[in-house]
Amino acid sequence: MLIGELAAKSGLSRDTIRFYEKQGLITIERKQRRNNNYKEYSEEILNRLLTIKRLKNFGFTLNESAVILDMIEIREATCSNVSEMIEKKVQLLDAKILDMVALRNQLINGVKKCVSCCNPATPEDNCPILISDGFL
């Protein structure tokens, strides 16, 4: 299929597909072109793009995705290899989640403190609670 069809089927834009090709995530050989020099994309390429989309959804970068795709291609995406990569990603996610939870709690606490300490009748100046060296 041509790039327009591939874009429609993959849900990615033509520019994105070209970008992935330039980055090396997909490869089109010289002999995979039509006589008019248009590239003929195979079902394998479509599958590869769909895998990239799923990996990206899980937070894998394009480079990480390329690594995984190559492992799949040479059949080294074994249970242990992939599990290991997934567990690393989970650890990163967990760390990030903890970080964000702590931050949101700090922000919430700041607002709570403001509500209980500030005088709502005098809103004409910077908040002494939220705008301070100990907070923002």
Site for a copy of itself, rule CB under 8 A: 47, 50-51, 54-55, 57-59, 68, 72, 75-80, 82-83, 86-87, 89-90, 93-94, 96-97, 100-101, 103-104, 106-108, 110-111, 114-115, 118, 120, 123-127, 129-131, 133, 135-136
**Residue among 39 and 49 whose Cβ is closer to a copy of itself:** 49
Q: What is the C-alpha separation between 108 and 83, in angstroms, rounded?
A: 36
Q: Is 64 exposed, middle or buried (0-12, 13-18, 19+ CB in 10 A)?
A: middle
Which residues on adjacent β-strands are paired with residue 39? 33
- Residue 37 or 120: the one with the smaller Cβ distance to a copy of itself is 120
Q: Which does 4 bind (CB under 5 to 8 A by kind): a copy of itself, DNA, none?
A: DNA
131 binds, among a copy of itself, DNA, none (CB under 5 to 8 A by kind): a copy of itself
Quote the CA–CA distance of 49 and 6 in Å, as a whole number. 9
d(CA 125, CA 94): 39
Cβ contact 11:54 at 8 Å = no
Question: Rule CB under 7 A: which residues touch DNA?
Answer: 2-5, 13-16, 18-19, 34-39, 56, 61-63
